[in-house]
Amino acid sequence: MKLKIFLLVASLAIFSLTAAAQNAKSKTEPLAIGTVAPDFTLNDQNGKAVTLSKVGKTTVLVFYRAFWCPFCARQLAELRSLLKANENVALFAISPDDAEKSKGLAAKIAKDGKGDVNFPLLSDAGHKTVDAYGLFDPAYVGQDVEGIPHPAVYILDKNRKIVWAKVESDYKIRPTNADIRAELEKMN
């Protein structure tokens, strides 16, 4: 009887460890091209809710680290000129920052005199969306900035299927507007 109980407890422990390892692995393995992107509802810097499944058009998702990252600020500043006037494409930037920090970052970028940030900065404060997209950067576990993503850009078709992705392990490297634009042109 003791052996059966021991085997049952050991089996449950192994199952729990395996499930935990799979969960940890999934939040650090970026989604692949061809995958349907997970849905989310996140609030922008002005408190407006955005639900991905309701967008219904080509979408560019830019995951950035946080308001304090100068490489992120530079990328977001450049993204103001990504889309053409009246283009049927949505652009969203996502970070673990709360709305106030995102609003502050947008104001800081606008001070360069080249215009306001013309796309929503979405708040993923609990990093559930970052995790769902497999972008969780484990280098910061246990630190104040735990939950920041690897910088990434996803292009989704109107049905949320990932048609292009660029995920960087080096936070200093980002795809250019020209890189993203080339992929958007291929879709037209």
> Packing angle between helix 70-79 and helix 99-110, nearest 10 degrees?
70
Catalytic residue among 37, 52, 72, 167: 72
CA distance 7 to 40: 41
Tell me what pLDDT residue 40 has.
Answer: 98
Give me the tens of pLDDT residue by residue for the chain, a chain 188 residues long.
565 554 444 444 444 433 333 344 589 999 999 999 999 999 999 999 999 999 999 999 999 999 999 999 999 999 999 999 999 999 999 999 999 999 999 999 999 999 999 999 999 999 999 999 999 999 999 998 999 999 999 999 999 999 999 999 999 999 999 999 999 999 87
Cβ contact 101:66 at 8 Å: yes
Judged on CB neighbours under 10 Å (0-12, 13-18, 19+), 166 is: middle
| 72 given a catalytic annotation | yes
Tell me what pLDDT residue 9 has.
Answer: 43
Tell me what pLDDT residue 26 has.
Answer: 86
Topology of the domain covering 31-187 = Glutaredoxin (3.40.30)
Q: How many CB atoms lie within 10 A of CB 105?
A: 25
Indicate the pTM of the whole model: 0.86
Tell me what pLDDT residue 188 has.
Answer: 74
Cβ contact 175:169 at 8 Å: no
Cβ contact 60:180 at 8 Å: yes
